[in-house]
Chain A
């Protein structure tokens, strides 16, 4: 009898242990819980756009001024106007300009500044809007706020997505060759291997001026 009681108690203990060792949860709930602690690149990018990038657009340097400075004193121009989160030759500038829309191409548009007849056309990317130019150009993102590199990459990705979907389409729909256009955008330049003939602007603000 005593032995039987022992077995029953042992069985109850085993069942209790087994019951408490296994539990079921909905996968969607677990995923949602995991996501709450995650970095939300889309909302970071939206806040960055509204509270830092837009108020900072007045710091953009005029494109012809920048070109002249780069040609006369490259070091000084990079020091005064460029930013980058990382180390290396690749640096970013926020520039602005206005001029006549001289061509509308599949992947870009070109603008000729009216102020200077000798100025080369400025190429504005409308298709290949990728990279870190917009994130880094103003130097407003602090690397120390990010321990995960992928979060930083995703911020660029979200900013570029916003440009591809919100800045470029209304411009391309409205713009015609010969229109007067104003732009503010970010460019990437290589300090060591500077090529001023390859400049491509990632637009942040791009508008046809109604006269």
Chain B
């Protein structure tokens, strides 16, 4: 009897251990993996769309997702990476603040075996991120350059307004455009200046250029905000009907301006496609895939007078 009594607690103990182990393994299997969405800035609606689309897609795939705003500050971005790694996030969907400055943050995640998928902006390293999903700005601007030359009948004077000079997209767009336009010697670039992707700065830059070159025929801008600023400067100078303005991004106001003849063309980018692809890649990574392309281009579409109907809101 005494022997039997001794056996009961031992069996109970064994049962309790089995129960705890089972509970533990159940919790591990049911707890969703966590995805951090770290975005350069949420001060610009374009990046808000990028962030929210990435988080929504991650949630739709069954993961927990949280958005971190780096406020265009690489130091704050570094804090977000440290917090994400310390809090046990399993993947990072990342829009960097700085192509060079953000590399060390991505490397920290890599060292912690946390995959990083860059969206829209790249980091200047092919060894850091698991994959980088980027707008094919160069090819988009090749198409833009081709349209530009046709619209200009291969001759005329033009101004180029660049974005941030430290941003890779600025130069990818400029190089793509020039890879076509520079083959036409009668197209003369009379000024090339940066306006930091900013509408007001673009207006000021073009106002000052117009004082020296009032006879320009076209303005090519590295983004749509600057195209709108350039258009304002042309309106102030009374030359908006004669000078053609070309932008890049596919912003709603510029697409509308193309349809009513104010802007000549823009390159439509697809932030939702980039964000959703990054989230899907994270999902595939969790399921064991490892061979991702280092850089995955996302096609940019030329929006012009002839096809603007396809791109007006709701289409």
Please give the residue numbers on chain A whose beta carbons come within 8 Å of chain B beta carbons, in ascending order. 84-90, 107, 128, 130-132, 143-144, 146-150, 152-153, 156-157, 190, 192-193, 195, 198
Assess whether A148 is in contact with B296, with CB atoms less than 8 Å apart: no
List B122-140 residues whose CB lies under 8 Å from chain A.
126, 133-134, 136, 138-139
- Minimal beta-carbon separation of A104 from chain B (angstroms): 18
Identify the closest chain A residue to B125 (Cβ).
Answer: A147
Contact with A along B274-315 (1 / 0, CB 8 A): 000100000000000001011111111100001100110000
Q: Does B103 contact A (CB under 8 A)?
A: no
Q: A84-B299, A87-B299, A90-B301 are in contact. Are A153 and B176 (CB under 8 A)?
A: yes
Which residues of chain B come closer than 8 Å to A147, judged between CB atoms?
Answer: 126, 294-295
Q: Does B143 contact A (CB under 8 A)?
A: yes
- Minimal beta-carbon separation of A189 from chain B (angstroms): 12
- Minimal beta-carbon separation of B149 from chain A (angstroms): 7
Which one, A128, A144, A153, A157, contacts B146 given CB within 8 A? A128
Which residues of chain A come closer than 8 Å to B126, judged between CB atoms?
Answer: 147-148
Main secondary structure of the interface of A (DSSP, over half): loop
User: In the complex, which of the residues B133, B273, B295, B298 has the most CB atoms of chain A within 10 Å of its own CB atom?
Assistant: B295
Q: Does B179 contact A (CB under 8 A)?
A: yes
Q: Does B250 contact A (CB under 8 A)?
A: no
Assess whether A193 is in contact with B139, with CB atoms less than 8 Å apart: no
Q: Does B180 contact A (CB under 8 A)?
A: yes
- Minimal beta-carbon separation of A192 from chain B (angstroms): 8
Which one, A128, A130, A144, A149, contacts B297 given CB within 8 A? A149
Q: 10 new A-B pairs (CB below 8 Å) besides A87-B277, A89-B299?
A: A88-B300, A89-B301, A90-B301, A130-B179, A143-B295, A143-B296, A146-B295, A149-B295, A153-B179, A193-B301
Q: Does B150 contact A (CB under 8 A)?
A: yes
Identify the closest chain A residue to B309 (Cβ).
Answer: A193
* A26-B87 Cα distance, complex, nearest whole Å: 53
Q: A157-B179, A193-B310 are in contact. Are A128 and B295 (CB under 8 A)?
A: no
Q: Does B142 contact A (CB under 8 A)?
A: yes
Which residues of chain A come closer than 8 Å to B149, judged between CB atoms?
Answer: 128
Which residues of chain B come closer than 8 Å to A146, judged between CB atoms?
Answer: 294-295
Assess whether B307 is in contact with A131, with CB atoms less than 8 Å apart: no
Identify the closest chain B residue to A86 (Cβ).
Answer: B297
Which residues of chain A come closer than 8 Å to B172, judged between CB atoms?
Answer: 149
Which residues of chain B come closer than 8 Å to A130, judged between CB atoms?
Answer: 142-143, 145-146, 179-180
- Minimal beta-carbon separation of B266 from chain A (angstroms): 15
List 3 tightest A-B contacts by C-beta distance, closest first: A88-B299, A86-B297, A147-B126
* A150-B296 Cα distance, complex, nearest whole Å: 12
Which one, B138, B150, B270, B273, contacts A149 given CB within 8 A? B138
Assess whether A86 is in contact with B301, with CB atoms less than 8 Å apart: no
* A90-B172 Cα distance, complex, nearest whole Å: 19
What are 26 of the A-B contact pairs (CB < 8 Å)? A86-B136, A86-B296, A87-B298, A88-B136, A88-B270, A88-B300, A107-B150, A128-B150, A128-B180, A130-B142, A130-B145, A130-B180, A131-B139, A131-B143, A143-B295, A147-B295, A148-B295, A149-B134, A149-B297, A152-B297, A153-B138, A153-B176, A156-B139, A156-B142, A157-B179, A192-B310
* A85-B297 Cα distance, complex, nearest whole Å: 7
Which residues of chain A come closer than 8 Å to B142, judged between CB atoms?
Answer: 130-131, 156
User: In the complex, which of the residues B143, B300, B311 has the most CB atoms of chain A within 10 Å of its own CB atom?
Assistant: B143
Which residues of chain A come closer than 8 Å to B277, judged between CB atoms?
Answer: 87
Contact with A along B170-183 (1 / 0, CB 8 A): 00100110011000
- Minimal beta-carbon separation of B38 from chain A (angstroms): 22
Contact with A along B30-51 (1 / 0, CB 8 A): 0000000000000000000000
Assess whether B297 is in contact with A193, with CB atoms less than 8 Å apart: no
Which residues of chain B come closer than 8 Å to A192, judged between CB atoms?
Answer: 310
Assess whether B138 is in contact with A90, with CB atoms less than 8 Å apart: no
- Minimal beta-carbon separation of A138 from chain B (angstroms): 17
Which residues of chain B come closer than 8 Å to A88, judged between CB atoms?
Answer: 136, 270, 273, 298-301
Assess whether B150 is in contact with A153, with CB atoms less than 8 Å apart: no
Which residues of chain A come closer than 8 Å to B139, judged between CB atoms?
Answer: 131-132, 153, 156
Which residues of chain A come closer than 8 Å to B301, judged between CB atoms?
Answer: 88-90, 190, 193
Which residues of chain B come closer than 8 Å to A143, judged between CB atoms?
Answer: 293, 295-296
* A146-B126 Cα distance, complex, nearest whole Å: 10
* A143-B291 Cα distance, complex, nearest whole Å: 11
* A193-B145 Cα distance, complex, nearest whole Å: 21
* A152-B143 Cα distance, complex, nearest whole Å: 16
Which residues of chain A come closer than 8 Å to B299, judged between CB atoms?
Answer: 84, 86-90
* A146-B143 Cα distance, complex, nearest whole Å: 22
Which residues of chain B come closer than 8 Å to A107, judged between CB atoms?
Answer: 150
Which residues of chain B come closer than 8 Å to A90, judged between CB atoms?
Answer: 299, 301
- Minimal beta-carbon separation of A107 from chain B (angstroms): 8
Which residues of chain B come closer than 8 Å to A195, judged between CB atoms?
Answer: 307
